[in-house]
Amino acid sequence: MKRHLFLFVIFLQSYLYAQESTASINNSLTEAYKERINYIKKRCSEDSIKAVQDSKIQNKYFINIAAPYGNSFLPGEELKTILEKHNIIWGGEWMGSDIVGYSGECYYSFMTELTKNKFGKDFVDSLIKESVVQYVKKHPGKIFKRDEHTKWTYKGTYLSYTDDNDQLNKDFFNNFIYPEGYGNYDPSQQKYHSSTAVTLILDEKGNPLKEEFRHHIYNEHNLKYIPYFEKEIKKFIKYTKFEPVKYRGCPVKSKTAFSIYYK
């Protein structure tokens, strides 16, 4: 009995010590987080004041690039030349992060807003659009990709890329008949629904130039239907009016993709 009581006391002490240690670590993390937030607020305030002061003698314009596609604004040189004509300095791209430290995003964003306020947002936007048009004209053979911040919609809606609940899949299956003998998805035997990933090369008007297929058929019985799937998808592509992919609002030749999800 005494031995059991002794072990219980040891266990209780160890447990309480662990709880205190965890609380201490959590408190340290909380304090570190507070310090970091205060540091960022201080830096942001300082940079905002600096932006206001700098804007009295020069105008700068920065472009914020959304994650995760990296920090590249393709018509940078074109925009730099256009901005210089209006005494605006091209500051380049920036992509903020809340992972480590402070990267100066307050200065970039405040300076950009001050420039927009001085010249007018619509005017500055028109300069950016002009730079994009110039870049596209200079590179007529370029095929834009998704990681270059392009946007593509189907009948004005974005694709889900996860299931058959988007408008493209609905339209495809309106005229699709499953082949006789096709085996439906069985969750007890398959982890995922079968699908076909379609890569399209579209011209600047949305006309298909080339298609490629990547099949993910998780029921071996259905592998024999792949030629049929491809035939039906090609038919769908042929008779569908696709919207062109746009780079910052400008229609471009592009490489894009969609998926067909089978039942």
- 155-206: pLDDT as tens digits: 999 998 888 899 999 999 999 999 999 999 998 888 889 999 999 999 999 9
CA distances to 14, 48, 76, 251 from 136, in Å: 68, 35, 12, 9
Q: Do 150 and 254 lie in a common domain? A: yes
Per-residue pLDDT band for 80 (boundaries 50, 70, 90) equals very high
Between 55 and 65, whose confidence is greater?
55
Domain carrying residue 240: 146-261
Structural domain contains residue 15: no
**Residue 150 and residue 255 share a domain:** yes
Residue environment code for 134-159, b if the CB has 16+ CB neighbours within 10 A, otherwise e: bbbeeeeeebbeeebbbebebeeeeb
Which DSSP category does 148 fall into? G
What is the number of domains present in the chain?
A: 2
CA contacts within 13 A on the Cβ side of 149: 18
Is 26 domain-assigned?
Answer: no
**Rounded to the nearest 5°, which phi and psi values hold at 194?**
-75, 155
Residue 105 lies inside a defined structural domain of this protein:
yes
**Are 150 and 167 contained in the same domain?**
yes
Q: What is the largest CA-CA distance in the chain?
A: 91
Within-domain flag for 106 = yes
31 inside domain: no
| One domain, residues 59 and 115 | yes
Q: Give yes or no: residues 157 and 125 share one domain.
A: no
Residues 129 and 174 in one domain: no
Q: Which residue has the higher pLDDT, 149 or 112?
A: 112
Count of positions (residues) in the chain: 263
150 and 241 part of one domain: yes
Give the ranges where the chain is alpha helix by DSSP (H).
2-54, 76-84, 105-119, 121-138, 167-174, 226-238
Is the per-residue pLDDT at 5 higher than 60?
no
Domain boundary among 79, 106, 138: 138
Question: What mean pLDDT comes out for the span 40-45?
Answer: 84
The Cα–Cα gap between 250 and 244 comes to: 9
| Residues 126 and 161 placed together within one structural domain of the fold | no
Per residue in 82-105, pLDDT (tens digit) is 999 999 999 999 886 554 456 678
Q: How far apart are CA 77 and CA 93, in angstroms?
A: 12
Residue 257 makes CB contacts below 8 A (sequence gap 6+) with 146, 197, 198, 199, 200
User: Where is the domain boundary, 109, 138, 167?
Assistant: 138
Q: Give percent of the chain with pLDDT exceeding 90.
A: 67
For residue 25, what are the contacts with CB-CB under 8 A and spacing of at least 6?
none
**1 within some domain:** no
